[in-house]
Amino acid sequence: MSALAIDVHGLNKSFGDKHVVKDFSLQVRSGEIYGFLGPNGSGKTTSIRMLCGLLKPDSGSGTCLGHDVVRETAAIKREVGYMTQRFSLWEDLTIRENLEFVARMYGMKDRSQAVSKTLADVGLEGRKDQLAGTLSGGWKQRLALAACLLHRPQLLLLDEPTAGVDPKARRDFWEEIHQLAAQGISVLVSTHYMDEAERCHRLAYIAYGTLLATGTPDELLHLFPLVTWAVSGPLTKLAALSTRLQGRPGVSHVTAFGNTLHVTGEDEAALETTLAPFMKEEELLWKKAQAGLEDVFIHLMASAPDNLQ
């Protein structure tokens, strides 16, 4: 097994009486793209901030890039690149001025050369004199990534980096991430997009502070013996059908996917017995479907207790 860029065990973090992260353990290999998934408020950002030295765990232990996550947070901060959910650079500075400022914060000796190389590497050379505040979402994302890469980190912690950008910008971003991983850089990236989750080497799913499952995308797809039926028809009938199916024997969850519903359960016989009379209704077209990652994650979340209520 490759060396571990992240190796933490039993991390806990509370804010007041809210236990936000519970006994969190994670191992990420060098050069691996590790997807971090979960609903809003599940503790993903808090976990990432503990890993990069911005938050001190209440308990637990481990290392990030070989540095202790409790005692050596300053060293971790110098060696990781952390990209926040929101654009956090200076909008009244140009792209180059932003990167030069970041280089000064890291105390880099070859600032000008490093900035020029990073501009070229991420395709920003032609826009280096443009004010950051005038950039579109995709270009701001690229600038934020450039700032993360400037000091040549060996680990990137990316917190929902593609939220709010267009599909082409997302695709280009992921191409860049895979190129970085091929160079040996480890990436921990949180996302809500299932197509992005499928592009990761391994995944972790966290809900309400608890890590529920880890594995490759294929391993997670086979985590449960899920059976899924896809039903299409008039939208009004589908909406009514969704309500009628909720809580029926064998039905774990009903989820809308565009113009279809996915009806999922773990017991194939019980599910088909429940669905049999509904399959006879007019205007509805039923067919067996392959359960996807989103079905798995919805199934996981349905069984997770909400620790914030």
Q: Quote the pLDDT of residue 2.
A: 54
Q: State the pLDDT at residue 1.
A: 42
Beta-bridge partner residues of 13: 21
User: Residue 309's pLDDT band (boundaries 50, 70, 90)?
Assistant: very low
Q: What was the pLDDT predicted at 262?
A: 92
Percent of the chain with pLDDT strictly greater than 90 = 56
Q: Say yes or no to pLDDT of 57 above 90.
A: yes
CA gap 114, 107 in Å, rounded: 12
Phi and psi torsions of 69, nearest 5°: -75, -10
* 308 — pLDDT class (breaks 50, 70, 90): very low
pLDDT of residue 76 exceeding 60, the answer is yes
Q: Which of 23, 32, 25 is nearest to 5 (CA)?
A: 32
As a whole number, mean pLDDT of residues 44-58 equals 91
CA-based nearest residue to 31, from 156, 120, 145: 156
- The confidence score (pLDDT) of residue 264 equals 93
pLDDT tens-digit map of 193-219: 888 899 999 999 988 888 889 999 999
Q: Give the chain's mean pLDDT.
A: 89
pLDDT digits (tens, 9 = 90+) for 228-277: 999 999 999 999 999 999 999 999 989 898 889 999 999 999 999 999 99
To the nearest 10°, the Cα dihedral for 277, 278, 280, 283? Answer: 170
Q: For 295-304, what is each residue's pLDDT tens digit?
A: 888 888 776 6
Nearest to 55, CA basis, from 47, 43, 63: 47
Does residue 134 surpass a pLDDT of 50?
yes
**Of 42-46, 131-135, 227-231, 232-236, which gets the smallest average pLDDT?**
42-46
Helix, strand, coil share (%) of the chain residues, nearest 5: 35, 30, 35
Buried b (16+ CB within 10 A) or exposed e, 149-174: bbbebbbbbbbbbbeebeeebbebbb
Identify the band that residue 101 occupies on the pLDDT scale cut at 50, 70 and 90: very high
pLDDT reported for residue 304: 63
Q: Where are the beta strands (DSSP E) in the chain?
A: 4-15, 18-29, 33-37, 59-64, 67-68, 80-83, 155-159, 186-190, 202-207, 210-215, 227-232, 253-257, 260-265, 285-289
Between CA 85 and CA 96, with CA 91 as vertex, the angle to 5 degrees is 100
Q: Which domains does the chain have, with CATH numbers?
A: 4-216 (3.40.50.300), 227-290 (3.30.70.920)
Specify the residue for token string 């490093």: 114
pTM over 0.85: no
pLDDT at position 60, please?
Answer: 95
Cβ contacts of residue 277 below 8 Å, gap of 6+?
Answer: none
> Cβ of 74: how many Cβ atoms within 10 Å?
9
